[in-house]
Amino acid sequence: IWTYAASVEGIMAGFPGTGEYPENYDPRDREWYQTAAKTRGIQWSAADLDESGMGLLVTASTGLYDEKGDLLGVAAIDITFN
């Protein structure tokens, strides 16, 4: 239902675009970002209700690294059960 990525600087891009994030939204504070930034490999969340009304979602997220192994950001996808 959603795909998105956020850099270590807090820049976020998503598809499809929503334009609904508040001005003070920082993706680095979200569980999907923090979990994937601390652990290598794909991280699956527990199923949870989407706050925008899309139903029950599961998120898969993973860290993105440069050739030296430094974290560049996190990419994620939300899967719906509806």
Q: Is the pTM of this model over 0.75?
A: yes
Show the CA angle centred on residue 29, arms to residues 28 and 33, nearest 5°: 50
Per the structure block, which two tokens stand in for 15?
């598809």
Closest listed residue to residue 58, CA positions, set 41, 44, 38: 44
Question: pLDDT per residue over 3-33, tens digit each?
Answer: 999 999 999 998 987 667 788 889 999 999 9
Per the structure block, which two tokens stand in for 55?
């139903």
**Backbone dihedral region for residue 13 (phi beyond 0: left; psi -120 to 50: alpha; all else: beta):** beta
